[in-house]
Structure 1
Amino acid sequence: MHSIIKIVTVLTSIIINITFAYKANSQSTPPEGVNIPTDIPDPVEETVPQREQQPVITPTPTPPPKLQTPETPRITEPVSPSNLRFNIKKIEVLGNTVLEDEINLLVGKYENKNLSFADLIQLRTEITQLYIENNYQTSGAFVINNQLLNNGIAQIQVVEGQLESIEISGLQRLKPSYVRSRLQAASKPPLNRERLESALQLLQIDPLLQQVNAELTAGSAPGRNILQIVVKEAPAFHSGVVIANNQSPSIGSVQGNVFARHDNLLGFGDSLSAEYGLTDGLDIYSVGYSVPVNSRNGTINFRYSNNNSEIIEDTFEDLDIRSDSETFSLSFRQPLVRKPDTEFALSVGFDLRRSQTFILDDIPFSFSEGPEDGKSRVSAIRFTQDWVKRDAKTVLAARSQFSFGIDAFDATVNDSGTDGRFFSWLGQFQWVRRVSDRNVVLASINTQLTPDSLLSLERFSIGGVDTVRGYRQNKLVSDNGVLGAVEFRIPLTENPQTLQINPFFEMGWGWNNRSDNPDPQFIAGLGLGVQWEVIKGLNARVDYGIPLVAVEDKGDTLQDNGLYFSLRYQPF
């Protein structure tokens, strides 16, 4: 019996080595005497940062800041006997820079007529009312003093409202220029109340500010105003710890995470963040810095992440498979449309991604087609479009990202058909609807499409707590993929955030362009989540997903049995 087992082992070794030798020349040959199972998990995919998720934006109406405005400017006008009339052929309106056509229509009704002084007063009242109806509440018109009407020409002067100054109080760390610059574009003359209130609402939802109150007061002359702003800054420093089984079991599913972020490090709205995570087989850290560069919330963003992992599952532990990877990201994001209920932004970025895999701890080795001696290098230009539309009950969010892998900065380039030269499109769509005063439904679709065979660094992963619950993290990894999800949030307590249950249904489908498709290609899960705010800052979550599509070689971890947990404590 022992001889038979030995013969089978030798034959298996020969078959596996023949299989590896048959693959593309970019894939490494195992060291002599080392047998590598064919179902080995991809060690690179486990170490790269999670694909960026769209934040869940719950529809919550934000009351606009109350803007108190002074009365329309009043200027002493001449008094004339009511029975005195003049033959007015032309009426000149001076000082207006807006509403030209509307004013001409009003003036046309009075020209070439015998008018009393009361008629001119009525005309200037109509012009003033026209300004008010178009939200120019601090603008007005008056009849010019000491004008001779015998020549048939009457003159009406318009005083258009403008800001004399912006006075800001209540700031502690944030520089006044941050607030002032975001109001100046909206306060250009003539002063428009609707435009100014919109800018104040944008300040109200700015994460750096907790409360904004505003008042317009009369300035040094008619039509001149002072905007007084009283603000309360939001807490800028945030930190916490997270314990969750959200990593792949092959590198240790339970991860401890510590994070810290300062949203206003140097006082002008710049943000610095850092994060460190650890599992039995993973050591990961990242740091990011974002700085605003203009008053329309344009930002330059830099991020660096470094990951070191090793496969710890018993089946592969003796092979000492490990991976080192790092990512440098630099991007510029600029909102083109920015309103309290709508935002559309464009961003362009450049990523340098590097990964190296090893076998027997220090021998470079490629586990798939494309990498050269275990090295994967991607230099990618990314062009992203973001759109959000919200109201009191609904949020619609969409993101589109085009990625171009280029032959630059030592990117992986070979003749295997799988290298760092590629094109891909990532699309994300999210719909959130408040179906009652307390219940919310969320639906999302994520997809990646590409005509190329991708390195593992750029492939689409399906399975796990962020994609399809009921399966282990990254169960399917493919060039192309589609994810769909529906989730309900049903509060069980008076405070909706204290305790809620979340029924969900999720599914995903992946396929490749050159290599064999994953087996199975399609997975789906149905289940229930529970969220509990134990105390302020301490949140617990448990999800249980039932897999609707059976998979082979199912493990025995909590993830493999569809159970996920997360404990998050954020005191700041």
Structure 2
Amino acid sequence: MESRVPFLSKSQAEKIVSPYLNKPVSMKTLGEIRNKVNDWLASTGRMVSTVLVPEQEIRGGVIQILILSGHLGEVRVEGNRYFKSENLRGEIRLRPNEEIGLAELGDDVAWLNANPFRQVQTSLAPGSKAGSTDVVLEVTDRFPFRPYISYDNFGVSTLGYDRYSTGFTLMDVWTGWDQKIDYQYLTSGGFSKLQANSGTWAAALPWRHTATVFGSYSKANPDAVGQLDLSSYFWQVSGRYNILLPTLPFKDNKGDLRHQAYLGFDFKAANSDVFFAGAQLEPSTNGLAGLYNIFQLVFGYTGTMTDPIGSTALELVGFASPGGATGDNSDASFQQINGGATANYVYGKFLLNRVFRLPEGISLVGNLQIQQANQTLMPTESFGIGGYDTVRGYDQRSANGDNAYLTNVEVRSPAFSFGQIFGEGDFPDQLVVLGFFDYGQVLQENSDTTTSVN
């Protein structure tokens, strides 16, 4: 037994053909061997390679099997209107005459598709040179500017239930760094009780890391309590640096794990708990005020796993505050708002999402969130339950706690389009009907107080 193929070791070759060694040869067994080698090539991402059994005179029981590797001719870009071809082509790491590995190509396409303004699919076409294969990037992109206006009633009684917002997303199509700028203005309470501005800048760096800076500034003017003016402000500046990790394929090519790690910081300043007390902020019982700063380091990991029946996403993130970063990042400042809080703390979050694909386009979705802290936390860091994104049917942040458990279960219908129903196929609408169950529980770290909402 001998292997002269660089990527196929002798031991692996013996494993593939071992059922046929020292047995009679027939056209049937030769076909089976060829199929087994093809299956192995596919499992290693070499689906462009071809297995041949040439005509030969068999002597001494030796059979010659040839593997012709697919090599890249060129990368072609088609269909793009706004994103430059050279920038898209530059994200494909394959070079002319290199062997085409579909696993690496899949990672490159996933990186391109992280941009919300384009979708890239690949196809293979015969190259201009004998034995070469071209990779064709089939691009669907849209104008890289998206303005919007919105309305919701996700507010709280003290600041107004009705919320109005406007904003935009602007995407860089020139540099190849996929820089993105987001801005949003939000108001409620008749445009007087809450005004909030937030923005984000993000860039996809050439070495496949992502840098993000985001911040916000908000002012609140809830109704005064007697002589107590509850006017408040909150602002934040944060940064994240995401490191894309190598994709891990599952055995037998039945899915993969795409994951990344990240680190960063948060700096926050506020002079009350108005923004985070939510439905708990009742003028007769609350409204404590005092300036405080938050400075914390952030470390996290996210992963998404696909399999034949669905997908799983998870995130682990830790927050650590040494305390003392500023004069208002102190125990004394914290305890003006929350009597048990200290400026030195750590806490962590675990998030898990599972999607099961069921027959007829129906899906079953489950979410789990857990937060655990070692100290009493400030309102900016506490976990709030209640509202559209936690326990539906309750006001936002009906209950807050240092430690929390939250679960959501949804059954979702297939997506359908009114545009298609009424013959307007170009109208890009989608509607999904769902049923849900939500349950959440929050606990105070240095107290026996527990609140459940479902």
Q: Say if 1:326 and 1:103 are closer, same or farther in 2 by CA, change over 3 A.
A: closer
Q: Does 1:229 align with 2:145?
A: no
Residue 284 (structure 1) aligned to one of 173, 186, 196: 196
C-alpha contact 1:330 1:351 (8 A) present in aligned 2: yes
1:413 correspondence with 2:321: no
**1:305 and 2:216 equivalent?**
yes
Q: 1:405 deviation in Å? A: 1.0
Larger radius of gyration: 1
User: Relative to 1, partners in 2 of residues 1:442 and 1:160: Cα closer, same or farther, differing over 3 Å?
Assistant: closer
Post-superposition Cα deviations, 1:471-499, rounded to whole Å, max 9, x if no partner, equal: 22212122111122223334697769765
| Matching of residue 384 in structure 1 with residue 296 in structure 2 | no
1:285 and 1:242 map into 2 onto residues whose CA distance is: 15
The one of 352, 356, 367 aligned to 2:271: 356
Equivalent-residue separation in structure 1 for 2:329 and 2:319 (angstroms): 16
Tell me if 1:512 matches 2:444. yes
Q: Counterpart of 2:236?
A: 327
Q: Does 1:400 align with 2:309?
A: no
Partner SS state of residue 184, structure 1: coil
Question: Quick one: percent identity of the two aligned structures?
Answer: 17
Structure 1 residues 424-433 or 200-209, which shifts more? 200-209
CA pair 194-402 structure 1, distance change in 2 beyond 3 A: closer
Cα shift readout 1:504-537 (whole Å, capped 9, x = no counterpart): 322221121235736xx2222xxxxxxxxxxxxx
In the alignment, is the contact (CA less than 8 A) between 1:264 and 1:271 conserved in 2? yes
Aligned equivalent of 2:27: none
TM-score by length of 2: 0.73
Which amino acid in the other structure matches residue 471 of structure 1? Y
C-alpha RMSD over aligned residues: 4.5
Q: Give the Cα–Cα distance (whole angstroms) in 2 for the partners of residues 140 and 436 of structure 1.
A: 37
Closer, same or farther in 2 for the Cα pair 1:376/1:517, shift >3 Å?
farther
How far has the Cα of 1:131 moved from its partner? 7.1
Structure with greater contact order relative to length (CA < 8 Å, sep ≥ 6): 1
CA contact (8 A) 2:93 2:108 kept: no
1:156–1:253 distance in 2 versus 1, CA, 3 Å:
closer
- Structure 1 counterpart SS, 2:380: helix
The residue that corresponds to 2:278 in the other structure is none
1:407-446 to structure 2, matched below 5 A, reads 407=323, 409-410=325-326, 412-414=329-331, 418-446=341-369
Q: CA deviation at 1:311?
A: 1.9
Per-residue deviation at 1:259? 2.0
Task: Report the CA distance shift for 1:469/1:171 in structure 2 as closer, same or farther (over 3 A).
Answer: closer
Give unpaired runs (5+ residues) of structure 2.
Answer: 19-29, 55-63, 250-254, 275-282, 422-428
Cα distance in 2 for residues equivalent to 1:193 and 1:487? 35
Q: Is the 8 A contact 2:146 2:168 kept in 1?
A: yes
Cα deviation for residue 422 of structure 1 reads 0.8
Match of 2:279 in 1: none
The answer to whether residue 392 in structure 2 is matched with residue 483 in structure 1 is no
Aligned partner letter, 1:503: G
Equivalent position SS for 1:350: strand
Which whole-Å CA distance do the structure 2 matches of 1:103 and 1:443 have between them? 41
Alignment check: 8 A CA contact 2:386 2:397 kept: yes
Relative to structure 1, is the Cα distance of residues 501 and 127 closer, same or farther in structure 2, using a 3 angstrom cutoff? closer
3-state SS in 2 of match to 1:190: coil
Deviation at 1:163, TM superposition (A): 2.1
Task: Tell me, yes or no, if the aligned pair for 1:478 and 1:517 is still in contact at 8 Å.
Answer: no
Amino acid at match of 2:262: S
Counterpart secondary structure, 2:360: coil
How many equivalent residue pairs? Answer: 401
Using the alignment, how far apart are the partners of 1:178 and 1:168 within structure 2? 10
1:172 aligned onto 2:95: no
Partner of 2:291: 375
**1:246 counterpart = 2:246:** no
CA contact (8 A) 2:297 2:321 kept: yes
* 2:101 alignment partner AA: N
Which has the larger displacement, 408-417 or 197-206? 197-206
